[in-house]
Amino acid sequence: MRHGALRIAIIYIIISLLWITFSDRLLFYLEHNFTGEQVLLISSAKGYFFVIASGFFLYYLIKKNDTKLKQSETQYRSMYQSNPVPMWIYDDKLNIVSVNDAAVSTYGYSRDEFLTKSILDIRPAEDTERLIGAAGRLSASLNLNGNWRHIKKDGSIIHVSVTSHKITFNNNPNVMVMVRDMTEQLLFEQRLEKINQDILSKKQNLRETQLISKVGGWEYFPDTRKLLWSDELYTLTGINRDHEREPFDIYLEHVFPEDRPMMIAGLNDLMTHGKTLDVTHRTKVLNGETRYMRQLARLETVPGMPLKVIGSMQDITELKELEVEKNRHLSNLENTLNSISDAFFALDYNMCITRINQAFEDIVGGRFAKIVGESIFTLFPKERNRMYPYYQKALEERVIVKIEEYSLVLNKWIRLAAYPTDDGVAVYFSDITENKLKDTKLKEAVERYELLAQATKDVIYDLNIPADTIVYNASLMQLIDVAYHQIVYNLAWWRQLIHPDDVEEVLTSQQKIRNEGKTNWACEYRINCGNGVYKYIMDQGYFIYNEQKEPVRLIGVIKDINDLKQSIQENKRQNEFLKEIAWLSSHEIRRPVATMLGLMTLADMADSAEDKEEIFALLKITLNEMDGIVYQIHSKIDDAVDLS
């Protein structure tokens, strides 16, 4: 703006001087052609014209300069407002007086919110003292203020690099600030620092790992025949680093003579044909121990660089010992698998057989020359293999699957168990055809017995003695008045139904059978059928013993003999009644009859009427006695009839 005004002033001065000089000179030359008044008029007109012309000219120049100034100011404001770098202007009281769009977008404050804040408000409180000190030290030139922490509207902290310089804004001294978000860069630098620390840590860990895993590296340069060993190799072999001889020569002497040609041949192949070296050999280290060492090496060819062999050596003695132990366990596993009766095969993830036992080979029956390595579908075609979905499920879902299924290929019932393994799935199966047939026959027998039990209304039960559980058939609820949900399936519940006077007899009779090792047991006793009503039952059971001769099950049947028992008791009562009647008939009646017969004999023998009258009086008494006996018999018969 200052340069534009100066340029206009210079142009105006030059034009004015030129006009005055040349117009006065021209008027001087023309002076004798005009009168004095005319000359004065022309001189005034010349001055008026100059003032008017210079005024218009100045107006044009000032307007043009203002236009350029406005354009410059517009460009400046555009550069300020549209600058992608956050910028703001603050006054000498640290209050923000202007802010660009990038700052509004970056910090989240609206423009009005920004203009109500000071530069202290967008910084943590602990940075206030440092900020005031930095603001007081600003120079007139560009100031690189370093890295600061700023607070966004959402409360998050960002790390920024601040640049500032003093300006005049609205005719007041102010400071313009430009910030560059350094958060990502700072985080990157922190991550980079952490990565470098991790690398150093991993290098240290690698060294420690090499010592733990007993591995070390070496390099060999054929051109100079120079061999370089890592520190770990000296530790592994026990060779002194300062020994005057080459370590490889010392080491080669301790390699087992039987393994030495193999190692040398491998090195020759590496150097001659570039074939990777991978040799395991035995060596006797300097402390006298025999160790297994694995040598790995390869050629490294880099254009412009000498040929180099890079290798590593690892003490794998423990691995060899583990391999021997593993082979021993595999042998034991093989023997174990061959000793079990279940057939076994193992599948990999491609459904190929990786291991079998002898039982599996016997089931297959020698129909295939090769089994291990073949697909399971070669032995059991997929379209007929009902077992496939089950070990496929164990393989894919990593769950144990146990099922019983009929094999269309083997024409047998199979019990199968599939177990997921690290390499695939292990499958065990056994032939349960005979058991299935037995189960079918048993089921049929049970069904027949259930039908029979329903016909006879007998209660069938199965007592598991060790588990103290008892199972009844449905006839139980016909025998006793009890709801289904009230039944308790243990021995104690049943025994509390037994009449208290009969419990001892039941227990004693069962214990006697068990002590004698017999199987058949029977006992009559009374049970509570509900509402205090007891019935007589016949309980017949069969004891089953285990190998230790201990009873483990009692299978029995309970018959309702209450009606039979009452009939027997009634018959007994009637027999007792008949016996009593017979006794009265045979004893009580015979006594008066015998008396009457004796009196009749005396009457025949009596001579006088008085004797006969006396005899008839006695006969009358005897007849009354006999009548009383007959009446007593009739009374007993009537009582018996009423009771029945």
d(CA 348, CA 350) in angstroms, rounded, equals 5
DSSP letter string, 438-454: HHHHHHHHHHHHHHHHH
How many CB atoms within 10 Å of residue 444? 10
pLDDT grade for 466, boundaries at 50, 70 and 90: very high
Q: Averaged over 258-269, what is the pLDDT?
A: 88
Q: pLDDT at position 3, please? A: 57
d(CA 187, CA 571) in angstroms, rounded, equals 110
Res. 640: pLDDT tops 70: no
Q: State pLDDT tens for residues 402-429.
A: 988 888 878 888 888 999 998 899 998 8
The alpha carbon of 293 is separated from its chain's Cα centroid by a whole number of angstroms, namely 42
Backbone angles phi, psi at 71, to 5 degrees: -60, -45
Tokens of 264: 């040398």
Higher pLDDT, 532 or 204: 532
Nearest to 417, CA basis, from 407, 428, 426: 428
Res. 235: pLDDT tops 90: no
Most confident of 50-64, 474-488, 492-506: 492-506
Q: pLDDT at position 479, please? A: 84
Backbone angles phi, psi at 446, to 5 degrees: -65, -40
pLDDT grade for 469, boundaries at 50, 70 and 90: very high
Contact 269, 277 (CB under 8 A): yes
Nearest to 505, CA basis, from 520, 526, 489: 526
Higher pLDDT, 401 or 624: 401
542: amino acid identity, one letter = Y
* Beta strand residue intervals within 529-606, DSSP E: 534-545, 551-560
pLDDT grade for 475, boundaries at 50, 70 and 90: confident
Q: What is the mean pLDDT of the chain?
A: 80
Tokens of 192: 């980079």
* Beta-strand pair 157-169/172-181: antiparallel
DSSP letter string, 205-270: HHHHHHHHHTEEEEEEETTTTEEEE-HHHHHHH---TT-SS-HHHHHHHHB-TTTHHHHHHHHHHH
Q: Averaged over 520-532, what is the pLDDT?
A: 90
Q: pLDDT at position 493, please? A: 92
Res. 314: pLDDT tops 90: no
Higher pLDDT, 61 or 563: 563
> Under CATH, what is the fold of the domain 82-181?
Beta-Lactamase (3.30.450)
Nearest to 453, CA basis, from 558, 525, 542, 543: 558
* Domain 340-431, CATH: 3.30.450.20
Q: Averaged over 315-337, what is the pLDDT?
A: 77
Beta partners for residue 426, in sequence order: 346, 419
Res. 453: pLDDT tops 80: no
Instruction: Report the SS3 class of residue 620.
Output: helix
pLDDT grade for 134, boundaries at 50, 70 and 90: confident
d(CA 96, CA 11) in angstroms, rounded, equals 41
- 176's enclosing H/E stretch is strand 172-181
Which strands sit side by side in the sheet containing 412-420, from one edge to the other?
353-356, 343-348, 424-431, 412-420, 401-407
Per CATH, is 437-560 categorized as 3.30.450.20? yes
pLDDT grade for 133, boundaries at 50, 70 and 90: confident
Q: Tell me how far CA of residue 437 lies from CA of 21, 434, 494, in angstroms.
A: 143, 5, 34
Res. 641: pLDDT tops 60: no
Q: Averaged over 493-505, what is the pLDDT?
A: 93
d(CA 381, CA 375) in angstroms, rounded, equals 10
Q: Tell me how far CA of residue 612 lies from CA of 600, 601, 604, 616, 618, in angstroms.
A: 10, 11, 8, 6, 10
Helix pair angle (2-29, 36-81), 10° resolution: 170
Most confident of 28-37, 59-68, 117-126: 117-126
Beta partners for residue 293, in sequence order: 281, 315
Q: pLDDT at position 438, please? A: 78
Is there a shared CATH topology between the 214-322 domain and the 340-431 domain? yes
- Break the chain into its structural domains and give their ranges: 2-78, 82-181, 214-322, 340-431, 437-560, 568-643
d(CA 164, CA 178) in angstroms, rounded, equals 6
Res. 263: pLDDT tops 80: yes
pLDDT grade for 449, boundaries at 50, 70 and 90: low
pLDDT grade for 328, boundaries at 50, 70 and 90: confident
Q: pLDDT at position 180, please? A: 87
Q: Tell me how far CA of residue 481 lies from CA of 127, 456, 465, 477, 531, in angstroms.
A: 91, 18, 26, 6, 8
> Under CATH, what is the fold of the domain 214-322?
Beta-Lactamase (3.30.450)
Q: State pLDDT tens for residues 546-590.
A: 888 899 999 998 988 888 777 777 667 766 766 666 666 655 666
Q: State pLDDT tens for residues 70-105.
A: 655 555 566 677 788 898 889 988 999 889 888 888
